[in-house]
Amino acid sequence: MLLKKLKLNKIAMTVVLAAAATTAQAGYKIKLTDKDSIEFGGYLKADARYVTGEVGYRDFWIGQGTPVADSSQFKLHAKETRFNTKYTHGDVMAFIEIDFYGGGGNEIISNSSHPRIRHAFVKYDKWLMGQTWSTFMNTSAIAETVDFAGAAMGLVFNRQGQIRYTNGGLQLSIENPETWGTDIHGDAASAANDKVPDIVGKYTFKGDWGNVSVGAVLQKVDSEVSNETGIGYSVAGRIKTGGKDDLRFQVHMGQTGRYVGVVASQGLVNGEYEDQTAFTVAYRHFWNEGDRSTIYYGAVDTDLSNKNRSQFGVNYFKALTNKLSFGMEYGRFTQDDDATEEVSSDYLQLSAVFKF
């Protein structure tokens, strides 16, 4: 009898797992009990990217490029593909997401890129704890692009560990500190004495018209060779302009350090926090119910390292179904630093995205 029961349980478990696998592909929510449910989501994205010019190839542009002699390079990959799982238990929600930009990948044989954690956090009532987008970010203000980041040099773009409190439009958090840059001797600044968390505050105004957020971040360096406090500010939003169209923008000023520009700024330059000004603006237009285009521009300028980086792009997404779309984007990344000659590269990228 016991053996028969075990066999029946094994069969039942196999059916459940098979259903879960099918559900994961379809993106369905699985109800486990009256209080418990699990959801699967994400997308598969295949990219074909061609870069030509005086800045070396990257899978996506960030705030730092490598000047090279005129060169051209083409690559095909699927590293942006991501998968997430959300588990809900009453008022508690746990979320984890991975993609495949974790390094590795032998292009001679297998292209086996390593997975990496993007998000991993627990949320209960008004509290969140774990790794996710910094509270300093307004994620709704990020342009829809074929390029993975899309003018990252003009964005707040940071995921890290944090404890966040949310009450309506107000969000307050303490976040993982990380001293980065050079100390007063010009050597790499040490993060060994990072004992004060970064402090972030943001308030978001919302309405039928869209949203606008204002935020600030405070970073404290306390080491043997530096004792600096950096304060940065941000205004960002997404405004509806009629139909499904929208205007997205971000403006950042002050000592935002590593939070803005994706390594465009060192944060500390010879022991001093540098100021940087960064912005991005994007307009998205829907040609019909599913087909849409975005034109965008972003730039950053730093005052101590004297860096000036910018990117523009224009794209078109063709929706074949409500889950499958093809995208095409042309753009240019430019470095026009004070100490060097201007260099730039053009890129053309094609993608296929299947959401599940």
pLDDT attached to residue 107: 85
pLDDT attached to residue 10: 38
Which has the higher per-residue pLDDT, 8 or 340? Answer: 340
Which has the higher per-residue pLDDT, 162 or 187? Answer: 162
| 8 A C-beta contact, residue 235 and residue 251 | yes
pLDDT attached to residue 149: 84
Has residue 114 got a pLDDT over 80?
yes
What percentage of the chain exceeds 90 in pLDDT?
74
Q: 160 exposed, middle or buried (CB, 10 Å; 0-12, 13-18, 19+)?
A: middle
Has residue 4 got a pLDDT over 70?
no
Instruction: Give the pLDDT band of residue 200 (cuts 50, 70, 90).
Output: very high
| 8 A C-beta contact, residue 110 and residue 247 | no
- Cβ atoms < 10 Å from Cβ of 153: 33
pLDDT attached to residue 20: 37
Has residue 226 got a pLDDT over 80?
no
pLDDT attached to residue 321: 94
Of 186, 155, 135, the residue nearest 263 (C-alpha): 155
Q: Give the integer Cα–Cα distance in Å for 74 and 197.
A: 42
Q: Give the integer Cα–Cα distance in Å for 289 and 59.
A: 30
Q: Give the integer Cα–Cα distance in Å for 172 and 224.
A: 29
* Structure tokens belonging to residue 137: 């970010």
Rounded average pLDDT over 227-242 = 94
| Bridge pairing between strands 245-254 and 82-89 | unpaired
Has residue 26 got a pLDDT over 70?
no
Q: Following DSSP, what letter does each residue of 146-208 receive, concatenated? A: SSSSSSGGGSB--EEEEEEEEETTEEEEEE-----BB-TTSSBPP-TT--S-EEEEEEEEEET
